[in-house]
Amino acid sequence: MRYADEAAPGDALSDPHTSRRSFLRSTSAGVTSVALGASVAASAGSPPAHAADTDASDPAARRGTRPLAVTPACSGQETPASIEGPLFKPRSPARSDLITPAIRGVRLDLSGVVYDTACKPLPETLIEFWQCDQNGDYDTSGFSLRGHQYTDSRGAYRLRTIIPRDYWGRWGQRAPHIHTQVQASGGPVLITQLYFPDDTQAYGRDFTALNAADRLLNRACTIRLTGPENDRYAGTFDFVITTTVQAAPRTV
Ligand code: FE
């Protein structure tokens, strides 16, 4: 187990992406830096209307001729990147259920959809999750609380896990967060971290204070949380990623 996980700026990553499985064929330090350095992509048009978002009282909407988006499913804005930290491990097991007998934290069922910047759902997209346990420890000898999966035909994913504990690392106080990598086939890797709302209740911790103290936290990467119900939270987070590798600027 390791406790603090965040690399300081300029630190080499612990595991070169080039050693990852073949799906990550385009994953290299260069590609990663493209993903990390990418600015927020401009919206590529209006989000598509979804049947579930239509106003049933509107005749045109009922006829399907003028669907109204009540809650946009996708902003088209690329999910912000964050640092990977040194505790990523390649070749994690393919699984969406990270709960094992040793894991006794506050349960979380996380789900969502991966979109491209035109708000088109992305099937067969790789998502990798890794996180610390209920004590703030990362498993570096095995693969506890680590796993990868692919989105289904609707671009959806599901993860059965726990809310991670906060910990103190080289970046100072870290609020609870889940590390994530997302990559459409042939596209760049989005590396980011997901956070929890201020009113989350877990481990007797003050999430408002923890979130405020975390220098890496990005509110745009906050999971939408409901519950707890039957001792578990339900969370949703939709990713928006770019699917094309951007060419590096030419230098003369
Ligand atoms: Fe971490």
CATH code of the domain containing 210: 2.60.130.10
Most confident of 48-57, 65-74, 129-138: 129-138
- Does residue 139 lie in a domain region? yes
Distance 90 CA to ligand 1 centre (A): 16
- Does residue 250 lie in a domain region? no
- Does residue 124 lie in a domain region? yes
- Does residue 1 lie in a domain region? no
- Does residue 153 lie in a domain region? yes
pLDDT of the residue at 73: 74
Higher-scoring residue by pLDDT: 1, 97: 97
Total domain count, the chain: 1
Cβ(76)–Cβ(117) under 8 Å?
Answer: yes
Distance 22 CA to ligand 1 centre (A): 25
- Does residue 231 lie in a domain region? yes
Distance 130 CA to ligand 1 centre (A): 8
**pLDDT digits over 28-55, tens only?**
333 333 333 333 233 333 333 332 333 3
Distance 199 CA to ligand 1 centre (A): 20
Distance 137 CA to ligand 1 centre (A): 9
Higher-scoring residue by pLDDT: 18, 235: 235
- Does residue 249 lie in a domain region? no
Distance 180 CA to ligand 1 centre (A): 10
pLDDT of the residue at 247: 74
pLDDT of the residue at 71: 55
Residues 6+ apart with CB under 8 A from 92: 128, 130, 143, 146, 147, 148
Q: What angle do CA 78, 223, 175 make, to 5 degrees?
A: 105
Distance 103 CA to ligand 1 centre (A): 17
Distance 138 CA to ligand 1 centre (A): 8
Distance 113 CA to ligand 1 centre (A): 23
Full residue range of the structural domain in which residue 54 is found: 12-241
Distance 168 CA to ligand 1 centre (A): 10
- Does residue 5 lie in a domain region? no
> d(Cα 37, Cα 14) in Å, to the nearest integer?
19
**pLDDT digits over 91-128, tens only?**
999 999 999 999 999 999 999 999 999 999 999 999 99
> d(Cα 98, Cα 148) in Å, to the nearest integer?
10
Distance 160 CA to ligand 1 centre (A): 18
Distance 120 CA to ligand 1 centre (A): 30
The letter for the amino acid at 230 is N
